[in-house]
Chain A
Amino acid sequence: MKILVCISNVPDTTSKINFTDGDTKFDTNGVQFVINPNDEFGLTRAMWFKEKQGATVHIATVGDASVEPTMRKALAIGADEGIRINAVPTDGFFVAEQLANVVKDGAYDLVIAGRESIDYNGGMVPGILATLTGMNFINTCINLEVEGNTATAIREIDGGKEKVETQLPLVIGGQKGLVEESDLKIPNMRGIMMARKKALNVVEPIDAVKATVDNKFEKPAPKGTVKLVDSADELVALLHNEAKVI
């Protein structure tokens, strides 16, 4: 089985978010970039397929050279080869088109992408990618097994879970649950050394649709001071009379 894991390079979850250039750009100053958490669950699941079923695992990222440290980390975790599509990601549709082009060339059986990246929260790349390549698609995957050509997955739905079945080739939008958080792999020294020698191929982007443009950003209005109350009675009264939520 040949697997492609799509890796997004995102600000660490503890990052403070600021904007620059008249609030038109995300301020990367002092921000640490990491593998998107939803992608990390997928990458670890791909490692499981590699260890148990002998799968080959490639990773792909759309980005300029600044994303390479994040890609090297994914290679240190155990991916066999990396593909960097040399373009600054502008929007989800553009990213999906770039990845679809790589997927078509690479004849992958399984493409694992996070259900959404924690920066722009578009949640559209796996679905658009599946549609553009004609591959089957399962979103919000919290479990995935592959036997021969058949994939069985559990996906999270509102208020529960759904078990689904389909055939490869397949794209999944993965998330926490694909593997336990405690099973996430941390690169060890040997992995880091080996990652230096692994191929990180740079391919040029194709012409693609830019379907959306973020013209401006803003931060939420600052929060007022908390109103501390002493009793449940008082809280119920405030929720009814002031906040009007009960």
Chain B
Amino acid sequence: MSVLVYTESENGKFKKNAFEVASYAKAVAEQLGTSAVAISFNADANNDLGTYGISKVLNVTNDQLKTFNAEAYAKAITEAVNKEEANVVIVSSSANSKYLAPILAGKLKAGYAPNVVEAPNSTAPFTIKRTAFSNKGFAHTEITTDTKIVGVSNNAFGIVENNADAVVEDFSPSLDDNDFAVKSVEVDKVAGKVTIADAEIVVSGGRGLKGPENWGMIEELAEVLGAATACSKPVSDMGWRPHGEHVGQTGKPVAANLYIAVGISGAIQHLAGVSASKTKVVINNDAEAPFFKAADYGIVGDAFEVVPQLVEKLKEFKAQNA
């Protein structure tokens, strides 16, 4: 019996969520009185996972797996589950993990609970709290199958240091052509930009920005905060920003530590999509905007005046706290 965690990496480097899910896996392993084992793909510095309580890392080194492939990764993880006799599998809430987890669920005949926000409140029965109804509610879900898959919501559990000596073991899953039936042709990704999924801070703009030509100040604010940029639904519908930046009920969910909404009035669907964020700041010239009711801090004012001032003040703050 063990807890197996899939730790994501890119170009050999672990993503931040890898350390969060490793921390979560350690917490579950402790509850179950067992150990946490990680599986990684083409990752360097696997020993680092020991810092977050992982006692063994199965490292897959395979050029075919340099680009994420859901089916092949799922096959490899399934073999690792069987080898380690794992009864709990932990994944993140990244787009790749949400692609992978249902395939794993099908292969392992395992119940899968996504968007989980806390460590299990009971392991027998295995019950976890997760968001549902697009963050308008929580469900306490019991996974009833022998093997259980838990998808941890971004930034929900946090990174917890829990030193262990991580033994790194090479692991070679048996893959064949059928596992690569879906082929990656081209990846189009902006290098060096923080993604909404990875971001601890998200700066989002709405119709109040008046046009795509004014997006520079959103990007400037995001840059000074090391944040990702996002937008409301009307903005992506009008083509000011790409669909991938649309946050809300039918767009991307945001669970950031800080969410700054500029010129967004706060439709119910938008609020649902961002409500898992811990601190929300609203900048809007309409004091009656519904978003103020859901925010922690607000400035009633013209975004074109407030945002440049905020950028300046943040720069000063950074210089003082560097």
User: Which of A's residues lie within 8 Å of B, judged by CB?
Assistant: 11, 13-14, 16-17, 19, 26, 37-38, 91-93, 96, 118-132, 136-140, 142, 152, 156-167, 173, 175-177, 181-182, 209-220, 223-224, 226-233, 235-236, 238-240, 243, 245-246
Q: Which residues of B contact A217 (CB under 8 A)?
A: 132, 137-140
Q: 5 additional contacts, CB 8 Å, given A13-B269, A93-B112, A211-B111?
A: A14-B268, A118-B249, A120-B133, A127-B103, A137-B103
Which of B137, B183, B281 has the largest count of A CB atoms less than 10 A from its CB?
Answer: B137
9-residue interface stretch from B56-64, B91-99, B205-213: B91-99
Asked if A211 contacts B144 (CB within 8 A), the reply is: yes
Q: Which residues of B contact A162 (CB under 8 A)?
A: 184, 186-188
Residue of B95, B113, B140, B243 near A158 (CB, 8 A) is B95
Q: Which residues of A contact B189 (CB under 8 A)?
A: 157, 159-161
Asked if B137 contacts A235 (CB within 8 A), the reply is: no
CB distance from B311 to the nearest CB of A (A): 8
A93 to B106, CA, bound (A): 8
Asked if B136 contacts A17 (CB within 8 A), the reply is: yes
Residue of A130, A156, A158, A209 near B103 (CB, 8 A) is A130
Residue of A26, A138, A173, A236 near B314 (CB, 8 A) is A236
12 A-B contact pairs sorted by A residue (CB < 8 Å): A96-B102, A125-B102, A131-B106, A156-B243, A157-B187, A158-B96, A162-B184, A211-B111, A212-B144, A217-B140, A227-B297, A246-B201
A213 to B111, CA, bound (A): 9
CB distance from A88 to the nearest CB of B (A): 16
Contact A121:B133 (CB < 8 A) given known A158-B195, A214-B140, A218-B138: yes
Asked if B141 contacts A212 (CB within 8 A), the reply is: yes
Instruction: Give 1 or 0 for each of B268-284: 1 = CB within 8 Å of chain A CB.
Output: 11001001001101100
A243 to B258, CA, bound (A): 9
A216 to B186, CA, bound (A): 43
CB distance from A128 to the nearest CB of B (A): 4
A123 to B113, CA, bound (A): 10
Q: Which residues of A contact B294 (CB under 8 A)?
A: 223
Instruction: Give 1 or 0 for each of B185-204: 1 = CB within 8 Å of chain A CB.
Output: 11111100101111011000
Residue of A19, A129, A167 near B181 (CB, 8 A) is A167
Asked if A223 contacts B293 (CB within 8 A), the reply is: yes
Asked if B132 contacts A120 (CB within 8 A), the reply is: yes
Contact A235:B310 (CB < 8 A) given known A127-B101, A138-B182, A227-B297: yes
Asked if A235 contacts B243 (CB within 8 A), the reply is: no
Contact A139:B132 (CB < 8 A) given known A17-B137, A211-B144: no
Question: In this assembly, does B300 line the interface, its C-beta being within 8 Å of a C-beta of chain A?
Answer: yes
A243 to B193, CA, bound (A): 25
Q: Which residues of A contact B299 (CB under 8 A)?
A: 228-232, 235
CB distance from B240 to the nearest CB of A (A): 14
Q: Which residues of B contact A177 (CB under 8 A)?
A: 243
Asked if B313 contacts A233 (CB within 8 A), the reply is: yes
Asked if B184 contacts A19 (CB within 8 A), the reply is: no
Residue of A160, A211, A226, A231 near B293 (CB, 8 A) is A226
Q: Which residues of B contact A232 (CB under 8 A)?
A: 299, 306, 309-310, 312-313
A131 to B110, CA, bound (A): 12
Chain A interface helix/strand/loop/mixed? mixed
Asked if A228 contacts B298 (CB within 8 A), the reply is: yes
Residue of A13, A164, A219 near B183 (CB, 8 A) is A164
Asked if B278 contacts A216 (CB within 8 A), the reply is: no
A228 to B243, CA, bound (A): 31
Residue of B201, B244, B317 near A161 (CB, 8 A) is B244
Instruction: Give 1 or 0 for each of B115-156: 1 = CB within 8 Å of chain A CB.
Output: 100000000000100011111111111111100000000000
CB distance from B316 to the nearest CB of A (A): 8
Contact A213:B141 (CB < 8 A) given known A120-B132, A233-B313, A235-B310: yes
Asked if B144 contacts A164 (CB within 8 A), the reply is: no
A139 to B182, CA, bound (A): 11
A229 to B225, CA, bound (A): 19
Question: In this assembly, does B214 line the interface, its C-beta being within 8 Å of a C-beta of chain A?
Answer: no
CB distance from B68 to the nearest CB of A (A): 8
Contact A122:B193 (CB < 8 A) given known A158-B94, A211-B143: no
Asked if A219 contacts B195 (CB within 8 A), the reply is: no
A92 to B198, CA, bound (A): 26
Question: In this assembly, does B237 line the interface, its C-beta being within 8 Å of a C-beta of chain A?
Answer: yes
Question: In this assembly, does B105 line the interface, its C-beta being within 8 Å of a C-beta of chain A?
Answer: yes
Asked if B105 contacts A211 (CB within 8 A), the reply is: yes
Asked if B244 contacts A220 (CB within 8 A), the reply is: no
A91 to B218, CA, bound (A): 40
A123 to B317, CA, bound (A): 41
A138 to B182, CA, bound (A): 8
Asked if B278 contacts A122 (CB within 8 A), the reply is: no
Contact A128:B105 (CB < 8 A) given known A121-B134, A217-B138: yes
Q: Which residues of A contact B237 (CB under 8 A)?
A: 181-182
